[in-house]
Chain A
Amino acid sequence: MIFLIPIFLIPALGGIYGTEYWSQQAHPHNGRKLRLFYGLVTAALATVAVSANAILFLVAWEIMALSAFFLVTTEDEDRAVRQAGWLYLITTHISTLCLFALFAVLRVATGSYALGPLPVDLASPGIVTAVFILAVLAFGCKAGLVPFHIWLPSAHAMTPSHVSALMSGVLIKIGIYGLIRITSWLPDPPVWWGGLLLILGAGSGVLGVVMALGQHDLKRLLAYHSIENIGIIVMGVGLALVGRSLNCVEWVVLGLAGALLHVWNHGLFKALLFLSAGAVIHGTHSRDLDHMGGLGRVMPVTALCFAVGAIAICGLPPLNGFVSELLIYIGAFRSLGIGQALSWPAAAFVAPVLALIGALALACFVKAFGAVFLGTARSRHGEHAHEVGRAMTRPMLVLAILCVGIGIAPIVVAPVLDQGILAWILDGTDEVPRVATLVPLGWVSLGSLTLVALLGLFTLAMRKRITQGGSASGITWDCGYAAPSARMQYTASSFAQILGTLFGWIQHPRVRAPRVEAVFPGRTTFKSHVPDILLDVVLKPVFRFGAKLLSSFRFLQAGNIHAYLLYIVLFLMALLLWR
Chain B
Amino acid sequence: MKIQFTTIEGKSFQFYAILVILSILAAAGLYASYRMFEGGHYITGMTNQVPWGFPIVMAVYLIGLSAGSLVLSSLSSVFGKKEYKVFSRVAVYLAALLLMAGLMSITLDWGRPDRLMIPFTYFNFNSMFSWNAFLYSAYIGICVVYLMAMFAEKEKLVTFIGAVAVIWAVAVHSGTGAIFGFIHARELYHSPLLAPSFIAAALSSGTGLMILILLGTFKFTNRPLDNRLILGLSKLLSGFILIVLYFIFIENLTRFYAFGLREAEHYYLFEGLHSKVFWIGLILTGSIIPAAILFFPKTNKSIPWIALASFMVVIGVLAERYIIVIPAQTYPLDQFPGKEVSSVFLDGAYANYLISLPEAAQAVGIVAIVGIMFILGLKLLELLPTEAVIHDTEKK
A binds B: no
Residues of A within 8 A of B (CB): none
Residues of B within 8 A of A (CB): none
